[in-house]
Amino acid sequence: MELGECKSTFNLEKAVCNHGFFMMAPNNWIPSTKTLQRPLRLSDDTTSTVVSISHPPCHSFLLLKILLHSQFPPSSPDRHAILAQVGRMLRISDRDERDVREFQKACPKAKARGFGRLFRSPSIFEDAVKSILLCNCTWSKSLQMAQALCELQFDLTNTRKGKGKRKRGKSSTPLQAEVRMGNFPTSKELASLEESYLREKYPVLGYRAKYILQLAKNVESGRVSLQEMEETMNKEPYDYERVYQELSHLNGFGLWLNRITVNFTWTAFPFQQIEL
């Protein structure tokens, strides 16, 4: 994946490890090789494949390795879907690069440290749900809840395929753990579930199960369009207040959660003044 205009400021480790979301399942950062592994959706938005992302030293491209995929090489639509998700996570576009440079110009210390990109998930829905997982709990519990949702997605996928449920126990390699855990669930996968089922099967989610399912159902019904919100935020001038007000109407999205979620819709680190 070519970095294009981003090559002068891009550093994979700093683009990933700048806040705690990189530690949340299904992300798997390998410090020894400075590699990010995680499952990504293919063009059908149902099938996932595990992708390894690394940045060869002194090169102007990222190396993407598809570790598990029944069709190799992947089709053109699948390649496009993977590149789009990587681009969103790592903020790789001419627009992102321009915003990074503006931010670093305003904050010289950030430039000196190579800071400017705020790591995101492949989709705004995943970012929104993970923001919910941060509320009123310890960081270790947030990590447990993210893992529980990925285990749920694994079970849903294998039930749909008619396979057995996930086996308990530790995996021998990070890749096996990633495959066994599954991807982060989409709104479509969650919308058909009942709160009672989710709370009983994954009690670690607690009261958050209600708000996660409500968000998924609202997205699938068309009542809420997170994608449209993100597109609105990426147009100039940035319409922060409009998106903030739309989020305010959602159950479970209070002042703090709204602002955290909005931060992930910006093209780069939100250097505009936002009071937290």
Q: How do the domains of the chain map onto residue ranges?
A: 4-113, 124-263
Give domain 124-263's CATH superfamily.
Answer: Hypothetical protein; domain 2 (1.10.340.30)
Tens of pLDDT, residue by residue over 109-120, are 988 888 888 899
pTM value is 0.84
Tens of pLDDT, residue by residue over 147-167, are 999 999 999 988 766 655 554
Tens of pLDDT, residue by residue over 49-61, are 999 999 999 899 9
What is the SS3 assignment for the chain?
Answer: CECHHHHHCCCHHHHHCCCHHHHCCCCEEECCCCEEEEEEECCCCCCEEEEEEECCCCCCECEEEECCCCCCCCCHHHHHHHHHHHHHHHCCCHHHHHHHHHHHHHCHHHHHHCCCCCCCCCCHHHHHHHHHCCCCCCHHHHHHHHHHHHHHHHHHHHHHHCCCCCCCCCCCCHHHHHHHHCCCCCHHHHHCCCHHHHHHHCHHHCCHHHHHHHHHHHHHHCCCCHHHHHHHHCCCCCCHHHHHHHHHCCCCCCHHHHHHHHHCCCCCCCCCCCCC
Tens of pLDDT, residue by residue over 40-91, are 999 999 999 999 999 999 899 999 998 865 566 889 999 999 999 999 999 9
